[in-house]
């Protein structure tokens, strides 16, 4: 292969090739011919759903490799559980996936109750309240997903509308538990306190309001050409890929497999509720959108059934050696217990006061053993592996967190596509980094 010496002209550098392959010639002369660009997306970036870092290798706008890097939050929650008693653990786990605190708490408490052997002793009203709160939380979580994904793909108004409805759910949480997020409301043995009548009325108002608002979301998005072009056929992950990577939740169901632990491995009496498991066949961002929208409607069905089942009764297990005080009264300063409640505890008997003190400071003992409990979280299977050595504190608690597991699917759905589709694909996984970095 030979070629003439290049020379500069008004139109740039000119080669006169006398043989061989043009690509090979240019590759030998042009130092940038094979150069790839490495882009660090995050860890502080508005489209990374938290403190996530994506190292993207690009050829032009085509992604050749994506490497997700996690660990920037450094919460150490699982380790911290080993230094607090079993009930105090709910205060830690509720802060893992901060968009789904009720699920973190319920999974943990179901595991503790299984170790204690009191699963069948939990009051019916407490179990119904847990289901009610979880389904409200599922809707709130999906609303955050829809709002943030819409914003990342250019539909800014959807973000404002979805957070408006989520605010309604958080107000319900505050009426029930006293806090909007990270409530530590679900406790081993039941829940912290009963649902007030005012909250029941607000939930019914929400069930009347949300279907109309969801119709508005769909009017804004479903027929919008930009939304459909950015979601249909983008970040495809079929059933075999989901199963190979351990991906669960709406991502798996959008590929056509109706795997939902509320149906396939029921807990909290879900087998007694009437609801469907929505699926799609496309396995893309569009399918995940359709599945989550349908799931919110199914959650409303379950909430309606919960309200019908709320019969008067206790909300904490009867065993006083396990039951954390569940009928607390707030003091006049908004902190601590009221004087009347303290006087009631102190006035019953010295033994009652001592028992109250020991229960709160030391906690109850849990028989030695280990269990694994899984529930259907808004992002997929949330598993809790709890180990007890017979003491008042967990020996080890480890979470199978769906955000962490699902994130490993991002390279499979992104490589070979465009850099813009990494945003859409990552958003469709709905990762929450508080769950990854626990």
**In CATH, what number is assigned to the domain containing residue 153?**
1.10.645.10
Does 177 share its domain with 64? Answer: no
* Among 102, 145, 398, 397, residue whose Cα is nearest residue 249: 145
Output the CA–CA distances (angstroms, integers) from residue 167 to 126, 139, 172, 303, in the order listed: 24, 11, 9, 18
Does 151 share its domain with 247? Answer: yes
Residues 289 and 104: beta-carbon distance below 8 Å = no
Does 42 share its domain with 157? Answer: no
From 69, 90, 121, the end of a domain falls on 69
Is 337 part of a structural domain of the chain? no
Does 49 share its domain with 92? Answer: no
What pLDDT score does 72 carry?
85
Mean pLDDT of 291-304: 96
Output the CA–CA distances (angstroms, integers) from residue 21 to 28, 32, 311, in the order listed: 11, 18, 81
Burial class (CB in 10 A: 0-12, 13-18, 19+), 347: exposed
Does 55 share its domain with 86? Answer: no
Mean pLDDT of 153-157: 87
What pLDDT score does 111 carry?
96
Is 394 part of a structural domain of the chain? yes
Is 327 part of a structural domain of the chain? no
What pLDDT score does 2 carry?
44
CA angle 120, 122, 124 (to 5 degrees): 100
The total of other beta-carbon atoms located within 10 Å of residue 358's CB is 13
Does 48 share its domain with 152? Answer: no
Range of the domain at 155: 77-322+364-436
List helix spans (H) across 30-100. 77-80, 89-93
Tens digits of residue pLDDT in 36-93 = 888 888 777 666 667 888 888 888 888 989 999 888 888 889 999 999 999 889 999 9
Mean pLDDT of 354-371: 85
Is 348 part of a structural domain of the chain? no
Percent of the chain scoring above 70 in pLDDT: 88
CA–CA dist 152, 430 (Å, integer):
12
Q: Is the pLDDT of residue 143 over 80?
A: yes
DSSP codes of every residue in 338-373: -HHHHHHHHHH-HHHHHHHHHHHHT-----SEEEEE
Tens digits of residue pLDDT in 108-138 = 999 999 999 999 999 999 999 999 999 999 9
Does 184 share its domain with 216? Answer: yes
Count: domains in the chain: 2
Does 196 share its domain with 318? Answer: yes
CA–CA dist 142, 208 (Å, integer):
18
What pLDDT score does 337 carry?
63
From 17, 44, 69, the end of a domain falls on 69
* Among 58, 28, 118, 26, residue whose Cα is nearest residue 414: 58
Residues 302 and 109: beta-carbon distance below 8 Å = no
What pLDDT score does 17 carry?
57
Is 168 part of a structural domain of the chain? yes
Tens digits of residue pLDDT in 231-243 = 999 889 999 999 9
Is 271 part of a structural domain of the chain? yes
Q: Is the pLDDT of residue 358 over 60?
A: yes
Residues 34 and 13: beta-carbon distance below 8 Å = no
Does 162 share its domain with 255? Answer: yes
Average pLDDT, the chain: 87
CA–CA dist 379, 137 (Å, integer):
12
Q: How many CA atoms lie within 13 A of 390 on its CB side?
A: 1
Does 91 share its domain with 237? Answer: yes
Residues 261 and 268: beta-carbon distance below 8 Å = no
First to last CA, the chain: 60
Does 89 share its domain with 40? Answer: no
Is 352 part of a structural domain of the chain? no
What pLDDT score does 409 carry?
92
What pLDDT score does 160 carry?
92
The pLDDT-based confidence of 298 (bands split at 50, 70, 90) is very high
Is 340 part of a structural domain of the chain? no
Output the CA–CA distances (angstroms, integers) from residue 190 to 32, 109, 218, 234, in the order listed: 64, 8, 38, 43
Mean pLDDT of 370-395: 95
Phi, psi angle pair for 427, to nearest 5° = -65, -35
What pLDDT score does 1 carry?
42
Does 224 share its domain with 244? Answer: yes
Ramachandran quadrant class, 363 (left: phi over 0; alpha: psi -120 to 50; beta: rest):
left
What pLDDT score does 259 carry?
94
């Amino acid at each position: 292969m030979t070629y003439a010496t290049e020379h500069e002209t008004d139109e740039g550098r000119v080669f006169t090739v006398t043989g061989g392959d043009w690509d090979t010639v240019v590759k030998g002369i042009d130092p940038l011919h094979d150069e790839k660009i490495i882009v660090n997306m995050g860890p502080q970036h508005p489209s990374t759903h938290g403190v996530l870092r994506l190292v993207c290798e690009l050829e032009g706008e085509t992604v050749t490799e994506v490497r997700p890097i996690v660990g920037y939050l450094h919460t150490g929650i699982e380790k911290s559980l080993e230094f607090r008693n079993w009930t105090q653990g709910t205060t830690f786990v509720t802060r893992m996936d901060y968009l789904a605190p009720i699920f973190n708490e319920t999974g943990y408490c179901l595991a503790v109750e299984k170790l204690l052997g009191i699963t069948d002793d939990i009051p019916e009203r407490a179990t119904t309240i847990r289901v009610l709160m979880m389904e409200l939380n599922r809707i709130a979580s999906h609303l955050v997903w829809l709002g943030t994904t819409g914003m990342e793909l250019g539909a800014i108004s959807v973000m404002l509308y979805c957070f408006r409805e989520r605010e309604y759910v958080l107000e319900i949480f505050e009426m029930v538990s006293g806090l909007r997020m990270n409530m530590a409301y679900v406790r081993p043995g039941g829940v912290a306190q009963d649902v007030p009548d005012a909250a029941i009325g607000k939930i019914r108002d929400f069930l009347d309001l949300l279907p109309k608002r969801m119709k508005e979301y769909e009017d804004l998005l479903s027929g919008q050409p930009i939304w459909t072009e950015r979601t249909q056929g983008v970040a495809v992950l079929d059933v075999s890929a989901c199963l190979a990577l351990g991906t669960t939740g709406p991502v798996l169901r959008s590929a056509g497999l109706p795997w939902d632990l509320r149906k396939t491995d029921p807990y909290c009496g879900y087998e007694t509720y009437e609801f469907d498991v929505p699926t799609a066949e496309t396995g893309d961002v569009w399918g995940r959108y359709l599945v989550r929208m349908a799931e919110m409607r199914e959650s409303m069905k379950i909430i309606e059934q919960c309200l019908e089942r709320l019969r008067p009764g206790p909300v904490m297990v009867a065993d006083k050696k396990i039951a954390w005080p569940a009928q607390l009264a707030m003091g006049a300063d908004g902190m601590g217990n009221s004087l009347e409640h303290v006087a009631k505890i102190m006035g019953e008997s010295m033994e009652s006061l001592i028992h109250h003190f020991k229960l709160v400071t030391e906690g109850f003992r849990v028989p030695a053993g280990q269990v694994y409990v899984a529930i259907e979280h808004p992002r997929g299977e949330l598993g809790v592996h709890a180990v007890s050595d017979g003491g008042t504190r967990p020996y080890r608690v480890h979470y199978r967190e769906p955000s962490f597991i699902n994130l490993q699917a991002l390279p499979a759905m992104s490589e070979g596509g465009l850099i813009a589709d990494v945003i859409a694909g990552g958003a469709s996984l709905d990762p929450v980094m508080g769950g990854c970095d626990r």
